[in-house]
Structure 1
Amino acid sequence: MADITGDQRIQSEVLEGLATAVNHRRWFIELAVPYLGENPIEIGSGLGDYALEWAPHVPRFTATEADPDRLVLLKERMAAEPKIEVRQMLLPTTETADHSALVSYNVLEHIEDHVGALRSMAQLVRPGGRIILIVPAFMFAMSQVDIATGHVRRYTKKTMRAAMTEAGLEIEKLHYANALGLIGYYMATSVFKLAPKEGPMVKIYDTTVLPVTKAMEKVVRPPFGQSVFVVARTPS
């Protein structure tokens, strides 16, 4: 973990820290796989950690990134991946497409007009296709880390349902994920004023706490979590 006070490198450090949380990433990879179809698109691919693990499950995969600098790095990283097309995309957009699904993890919370963004997402997916999202949960956990990384909100199941409904999407699955992660995140970022960063604390969490949480949540859905997971269907 790193002291976040006055740290201008916070966004890069958070991304690097989360990239080392391999078990966390693979859990969230598994959540989306049943809904991807044959030709999904990802919004906000970053450096492509999720894209590289989703691609083996599908014939084609489109990875997108809005930030020009990250887009260059993403293209370089995916150059040897024939299944993966890389392109720039910023939401909201007027573009339309016929993807089997759209997946976007920890992106919607950055967008002021999130309903407009959801409508744009729906236009990129064929009728009856899926929108698969993960977003951070609970406004009480909004911290300097959230602000430094450009978050404008955190969600509950209720607020996510409202946004989806306003965008004309039908929710198929909606639940919290990573209950113990929320407690740890709140303590680290709001109490101790730390930010996720590559190091022993992230590794210990990922190798010891995360597997226990995942196993528990396969049995019982928790009433809270660090994230909200949602699958919605586009109008047919």
Structure 2
Amino acid sequence: MADITGDTRAQSRALEDVSAASHYRAWLTSLAVDHLGEHPIEIGSGHGDYAAEWLPRVGAFTATDADPGRLTVLRERFAADPRVTVGAMLLPSDVDGRFSAALAYNVLEHIPDDVAALRTMARLVRPGGKVVILVPAFPMLMSDFDVRVGHVRRYRRSTLRKAFTDAGLRVEKLHHVNWAGWFAWLLMMRLLKGSPRDGAALRVYDRLIVPAVRLGEKVVRPPFGQSLFAIGSRI
């Protein structure tokens, strides 16, 4: 059984720092809402920010993480909600399920054998169920921060598509997300060697730039972006 790579404290600190980016989180979670079904499972739920956005759309939700500290946070956050089940999960793993969808946002890039991880996710959903993935895009954007939090890779469209097909998943959707974030990541993380941090710059970007970019990408899919979003279905 493989573990997710990286400094778990740095990962948790980054989750806390970007938690204030509510417009960005709402945008990313909106990409998956039509594919959740009645009971999805999320791999790598972190502190539960995405799960909280998806909960109003489902009858039940299973949140998981590989880190004991983040599992404690998840259990405390959702202790009063009977719709939520919290458990430990590592990918790849020898598990099966009948979930309506399996979601993993910013997780697959941490796992050395991403094809095996996707095969596990395919086994977690019933036939026809969806595997929904968000990953960082463009190897040229690999930064010191990426390495510190355990990113094994950043993806191209071709490499993510191949991982899906090698895992036996039929690709239904695959596109870039957040073209403006590509430039921001190149400058702030790749060239200036920074880290995502809560503060005035993040909040201005989230409140002013993100809504405009989101609206534009509803009309025209950009040829590049900070992230790649993909949906595959179990055959």
Smaller-chain TM-score bracket: over 0.9
For 1:97 and 1:12, the matched residues in 2 are separated by 28
Deviations 1:64-115 (A, max 9, x none): 0110111111101110121111111111111101001011100000000000
Match of 1:55 in 2: 55
Any conservation in 2 of the 1:33–1:54 contact (CA below 8 Å)? yes
Aligned 1:115-130 pairs, distance under 5 A: 115-130=115-130
**1:166-205 equivalence runs, <5 A:** 166-205=166-205
Aligned amino acid, residue 174 of structure 2: L
1:210 and 1:137 map into 2 onto residues whose CA distance is 18
Q: Which residue of 2 aligns with 1:90?
A: 90
Partners of 1:208 and 1:45 in 2: how far apart?
27
- 1:71-110 aligned at under 5 Å gives the runs 71-110=71-110
State whether residues 13 and 197 of structure 1, in contact with CA within 8 Å, keep that contact through their aligned partners in structure 2: no
Deviations 1:45-73 (A, max 9, x none): 00000111101101011000110111111
Shift in Å, 1:10: 3.8
The 3-state SS of whatever aligns with 1:195 is coil
Partner Cα separation in structure 1 for residue 230 and residue 166 of structure 2: 15
Measured against aligned partners, the alpha-carbon deviations of 1:185-212 in whole angstroms (never above 9, x if no partner) come to: 1100111121111111110110111111
Amino acid at match of 1:34: D
SS in 1 for 2:16: helix
Residue 220 (structure 2) aligns with: 220
Question: Within 1, Cα distance between the matches of 2:63 and 2:13?
Answer: 22
Task: Read off the aligned partner of 1:222 and give its amino acid letter.
Answer: P
Task: Give the whole-Å Cα distance in 2 for the aligned partners of 1:103 and 1:61.
Answer: 11
CA RMSD of aligned residues (A): 1.3
Could you give the per-residue CA deviations for residues 149-181 of structure 1, whole angstroms, max 9, x where no partner exists? 110000111110010011010000110000001
Deviation (angstroms), 1:18: 1.6
What CA distance in whole angstroms lies between the structure 1 residues aligned with 2:64 and 2:113? 19
Are 2:19 and 2:49, in contact at CA under 8 Å, matched by a contact in 1?
A: yes
| Structural mapping, 1:7-156, within 5 Å | 10-156=10-156
Partners of 2:8 and 2:149 within 8 A in 1:
no
Cα deviation, residue 8, structure 1 = 9.8
Change (3 A) 1:115 1:9: closer
1:99 and 1:126 in contact (8 A); partners too: yes
Is the partner of 2:94 in helix, strand or coil? coil
Q: Is the 8 A contact 1:13 1:198 kept in 2?
A: no
TM-score with structure 2 setting the length: 0.95
Report the CA distance between 1:11 and its aligned residue.
2.8
Query: Separation in 1 of the partners of 2:114 and 2:159?
Result: 11
> What is the letter of the counterpart of residue 232 of structure 1?
G
2-side partners of 1:35 and 1:144: how far apart? Answer: 34
Query: Which residue type is aligned with residue 182 of structure 1?
Result: W
SS at match of 1:152: coil
> How many Å separate the matches in 2 of 1:100 and 1:232?
12
Aligned to 2:3: none
Percentage of identical aligned residues: 51
Q: Which runs of 5+ in 2 are unaligned?
A: 1-6
Do the aligned residues in 1 keep the contact of 2:74 with 2:86 (CA within 8 Å)?
A: yes
